[in-house]
Structure formats: structure tokens, C-alpha cells
Structure 1
């Protein structure tokens, strides 16, 4: 099937970033096509699952600043669609008190005047039951943080996009991209043309960029998403106002450990290690590494005595990592009408509305709302292979 319809923009990838980009374009009355290789909804990428943490607590100020507006945009979508997408629980941040990482989280919240509470070893247990604060660890609560209902958010933004006249075509894998003043995209089912294109394809980004002669230093890893059973049902429950939590670094973990109050599976708490093992996104089921689970078990044994230290359910998710763990939000170095949103490094979901807005601005040649220098392709210059 070939189509003579020319779009203002084609967005490839209907995960959270691509869906919000398409939605923002449709809001500006741009004729937009959203392409997705899998049948929607699916669990093959990085945007599925019921919950994600939303927070302003970050060790870099530019993320906290972006989140300020992002909370407003999430609330706006809730109002537009009449759907609840966020629940405030607070985020407990723990880590060695004198470590650089923990101090940066604390400083960023203070600097941005975000509502927070610092806990001491004396009052910790009365505020946070069923958690042991490791000796020498500091603890603070990012008060406005909470849980985003991820699956529901994705479905909602796609629904709003379609209400505004946007077109979603799922189960259409891209088979070719021809850059030019008008970009031509071939899929398994048709050929489409547009003035601009946004690639927001998560783990498949480099596969698509290959058609344009560009490769970015992106690494795809598979994460074990683990759910742990409460010994006493309800101990770590949202209804008990148990917060999300983030351990900035433990005795043995070089990455964060994070957790969310039980929601997906009643009586189970979601706790994951913020790193996984390298994988091919099309062969991820062959990746069976469990070293992250070993780290989590030891941590749960030590600090979360109310949980059975053996995961009851293990699901999977993929992260697409950049070397510095910052996003890529930029125009293609050779084709200014091709925009790239990639490398969300396992912490991009909460930014969906603001990233959609920024990628929309880039694709329309507008001045971006934020300083995008931390997210430019040129920071990888030594490792970026170009075949142009």
C-alpha cells in the first residue's frame, strides 16, 4: 500500500516519548502520523507496566527544573481526559550521608525550593515503618513525588492524540527511511512522506538511524523488574501512605535501588536494581542474567525485613543507555528535519510530557523551551560514527 498523503510529521515509536511528541504536534494542528512496529498495547519496549516513579529529586538541577513544568503538564492531561494518572506518595531518598550522590540530591531539592523533609536516625522509624536505615545513611523525603500510572498514561495520551485527528498505525515496522526536504518512510504496510520526522524508538533507535548514516553510542540492557511479597499484607501499601524510595548507593551497589508501594500485584512491592545486562532488543528473552536479583536479595534481607527476600514475580523491561546517562534530544547532524529522542537511560518516563513538547519544538524548527546542551548529539563526537 502506498499513500499519497503527506504529513507534517511522522513520529516513529509509540512509547511514552513518541506518543507525547505526536500529541504535542496534533495540539499545534500538525497532521501527524505515529508509527509503531508492534500491536498496541505491548510489553516489548520500555514504556509498559502499571507504575513509574515521578520525582523532582535529582542529582542534576536541569532535570529538577524540567520536572517543575512536567508536573503541570501531567495534571493538564489528567484534566483534559478526566483520568487519574498520578498519586502522591512522596519519595524517600536514602544514601551514605557524606556521599557526593546523596548530597547532590539534597542540594538540588533545596536549590529548587522543592518541598522536602529531612529525617534523622531518631525519627526515621516513626515516619517510615518496616525499613531499616543503614548506619551512616542520610534520609530525606521529596514530598511532591509519587506514582505515575504508566499503562494508563500511555493509553490516555494516545487516545487524546487520536481525538485531535492524529493517526496511529501499529504493527508496522519501518523498513527504510529516505532523508531529504521531504522524508520518505517505508514500512511493512506502506510508504509515507512528511516534512519532518521524529525517531523515538527506544532500543531500536540505532537500527533506524542506520538508514540515515548515523550511529549513536547507545547500549541496550534488559532489567529484571522484581516484585517482593509482604510478610504481613499491607505493610508497604499505597493505602498505608508508604512512599516510593530510592537508595542512591549501597554497600555493594554501584547503581540506585528503587522501590514502589504495592500496586500492580496486591501484597507485592516493586523493587528493582537500576541496571541490567546487555541485550539485543529482538532477542531479549535469551538474556537470563540474575546478578541484579542477588544484589536486591541481600539489600532486602538487610533493610526491608517485612518482605520475603525472594522475588515472587520477575518481569522485564529495557533501558537504552547513553554513556553519561543523559538523554538525546537533538536534530540529526546532517538532516535538520530529522529529530532524535533517545537514550532515556531508565529514567525518562516521568519526563514524557516535557520531552514531547521539546521534540515537537525541534521538529517545527522552534526555539526549545529549555537549554538542550546536555542532550546534544555532539557530546559523543568521538564515538559517533557517521557514514554520510
Structure 2
């Protein structure tokens, strides 16, 4: 599959997990695909770097559970194609307040798709996972088929298979302009390309990119601190992935900050416990001195109240970026005026696990196929009048 004179069927802007999955799915359709990224690959400036992410079935929204029904086998297919192990099945705990509406919605969504799960009371939770301390009224959903994804390896696997199938990757090549039309013209710092279709999957840079073609979306990049906490010698084995699951703490309020975490899997003896929120930032100046001490304080409160044997100061702090929308659902839709421009942005910190089906959905939009999934929650016009031309 060769391409000459910079002419493609699809150009994907952004080689993060969503862009790379989209490019991988598109090239499988026999299309000539160029994947562009502004930074040299691999890089740690956006939202797809790092060693691990949570993957799970449990969601409050049925449409996400439906997508995860396909995502799990698609991750397995990528493992087979790349020859790389990407998934560790350690399970996922979703800890909540008893009786909360979100708990009922999540259970209903799992039942709708016959997904194996258990509801655990606080005593049952602590019996099964003795490193945990939870309140009397707390409950949890146990998702036994969830676990962790090897993020950097997953991203590399998509890109490797994409190139094996004839796809082209140009990194260290920022886009300088996009000119819509029946053939979209993409100018970069190095060249000019034309394409019948373009996919915007630029993560925290998607807002300005969309604005350049008259589309103003409520996308807010925020900086997320990634903390690693040392487990004491007495508890270290209990925090390993053979005994301890990934978790999401959705309780909120009081000493319970909205956090998520993973077992020891990246740094020896360190458990990953992180906030699910952070300050608004400019992605081009991510590391400037924005005050986010409150994120460490809130996460520490959860660490102290919920986890036995963890240090009260993080050993390592790293950063990544979420690009949030007001309802925490992404934009996955055609440009209202230029339908050959597809937007895939605003995944609000929970898009990595969905990447295989996001790539499938993007491909269906490009090829104008009947969508497999419920696309209504992802429409560009759902925030009118803010999402306008």
C-alpha cells in the first residue's frame, strides 16, 4: 500500500491512544492512512503515556458497558496481532456509598448485558481485601473480569500493527493549518497533504484544532497528578496484582476524595493511588506552577482512611492530562458543516480502555456505515449553543 504526493484517504491528527486505534482500524479497511503527531514518538506530553490504565466493564451508563463488551475481545485481538501481553486480569472494585443512585444504575447496566459481577457490603469487602478499611454503609461492585492495561505497550502495539499493514506515521510534525473541502488540505511544519477525510484526535490540543475550522467545543484540559505510595514490608505482597485489584473510589465527600488506583505493577513496592481531578492548564505549559496541592491533600486523606500499610507521602509524582467535557462524555461525531472531518476528543480520563471501539466507531463515521454503538451521547451539538460554528 503506497502513497505518493502526500495524498491520503484519511489523515489522523494525534497519535495518542484514540488516534492510533483509529488509524489502525482505518488501515484495516484498505485505506491509505497517515497518522500525524506534533511530538517525537513516544512522548509524555499528552494523555496516553505511562505504564498502566484500568479497564473494566462496570459503568453507570449502559452505552459504555455495551462498548466494553466489544473492547475486551478487541484488546485480546491486538495482543495476538502484536505478540505482546497487554492485559492483567486482577479485577476491579468500584467502591461507593450504599444506596446511591449511581450504584443502582451501574448494577442495572451490568445486568442488561449479563456481565458477571458481585455486590459487596463493607464487611464482605474488607474480608476479601484485608488491606482495605471502609465505612459501615459503604458498598462495592466487584468486576472480576476487569484489570489493568499496559498503556505504553498498548499504544506501541496499535502503531506497530498499523505500520505493518501499510500505514504511515509522521511524528515531530505539528499541524499549522487545516483547510476544509471535499479534499481537506493539511499543512504542517514540514509538508502539505490532502485527504478525503480527516480525524481530529489531538487530545488536549483538540480545542484549538477544532476552532481552526470554526467548531467551538467546551473542552477543558486539566492536569492530573499520578501518585505512587510505598507499601510497608508487612503489606507489600498483599498489594500485588495477584491479591489486590484495581479500584475506583466513587464515594466522594468528607475524607473520601474521588480517586482511582492500581496494584503494585510499575515501580517495585509502590501502589498507584491518584486523584480523578486537577487544575485547568494550558497543555503547552503543563508543568508551570499551578497550585494543585489540594489534589495531594485529598488523595492522602483517602490513602489514610482506606488503605493499610501505605506511606503518607508519595514516593513518585508524575503528570498527565485529561481533556474534560461538561458531562464527561467525549465528542465522537462529524463536523456539522464538513462531514469528512471527524472529531474524537474529550475523553475525560476514561477513554483508554475504550480505545479499540473508539477506533471502530471512528472508522464507521469515516465510511458512513450504520453505527454499531449508541452515538447520541457523543454528539457535537449536545451543548448548544456553546458547540456552534
TM bracket, shorter-chain basis: over 0.9
The alignment's C-alpha RMSD in Å is 1.4
Q: 1:125 & 1:178 partners in 2: Cα distance?
A: 57
Deviation at 1:101, TM superposition (A): 2.0
User: Is 1:97–1:103's contact at 8 Å kept on the other side of the alignment?
Assistant: no
The structure 1 residue matched to 2:331, chosen from 328, 331, 336, is 328
Q: 1:254 & 1:207 partners in 2: Cα distance?
A: 35
1:214-363, aligned counterparts within 5 Å?
214-232=215-233, 234-252=236-254, 256-286=258-288, 287-363=290-366
User: Is 2:86–2:149's contact at 8 Å kept on the other side of the alignment?
Assistant: yes
Give SS of 1:227's match.
strand
Deviation at 1:206, TM superposition (A): 1.4
Unmatched segments (≥5 aa) in structure 1: none
User: Is 1:249–1:257's contact at 8 Å kept on the other side of the alignment?
Assistant: no
Would you say 1:114 and 2:115 are equivalent positions? yes
Deviation at 1:80, TM superposition (A): 1.2
Range moving further from structure 2, 373-382 or 158-167: 373-382
- Aligned twin of 1:88: 89
Q: 2:221 & 2:125 partners in 1: Cα distance?
A: 37
User: Is 1:230–1:236's contact at 8 Å kept on the other side of the alignment?
Assistant: no
Deviation at 1:347, TM superposition (A): 0.3
Runs of 4+ aligned residues of structure 1 deviating over 6 Å after TM superposition are none
Give SS of 2:198's match.
strand
Give SS of 1:378's match.
helix
Give SS of 2:284's match.
coil
Q: 2:189 & 2:240 partners in 1: Cα distance?
A: 44
Q: 1:347 & 1:258 partners in 2: Cα distance?
A: 11
Q: Deviations over 1:71-90 (max 9, x none)?
A: 01001111111111101011
1:18-29, aligned counterparts within 5 Å?
18-29=19-30
- Aligned twin of 1:100: 101
User: Is 1:10–1:197's contact at 8 Å kept on the other side of the alignment?
Assistant: yes
Q: Deviations over 1:334-357 (max 9, x none)?
A: 101000001100000000000001
User: Is 1:252–1:295's contact at 8 Å kept on the other side of the alignment?
Assistant: no
User: Is 1:10–1:198's contact at 8 Å kept on the other side of the alignment?
Assistant: yes
Q: 1:253 & 1:28 partners in 2: Cα distance?
A: 50
Q: 2:147 & 2:380 partners in 1: Cα distance?
A: 31
Name the structure with the higher strand share: 1
Normalising to structure 1: TM-score of the pair? 0.96
- Aligned twin of 1:158: 159
Deviation at 1:288, TM superposition (A): 4.0
Unmatched segments (≥5 aa) in structure 2: none
Relative to structure 1, is the Cα distance of residues 345 and 121 closer, same or farther in structure 2, using a 3 angstrom cutoff?
closer
Give SS of 1:68's match.
helix
Range moving further from structure 2, 80-89 or 40-49: 80-89
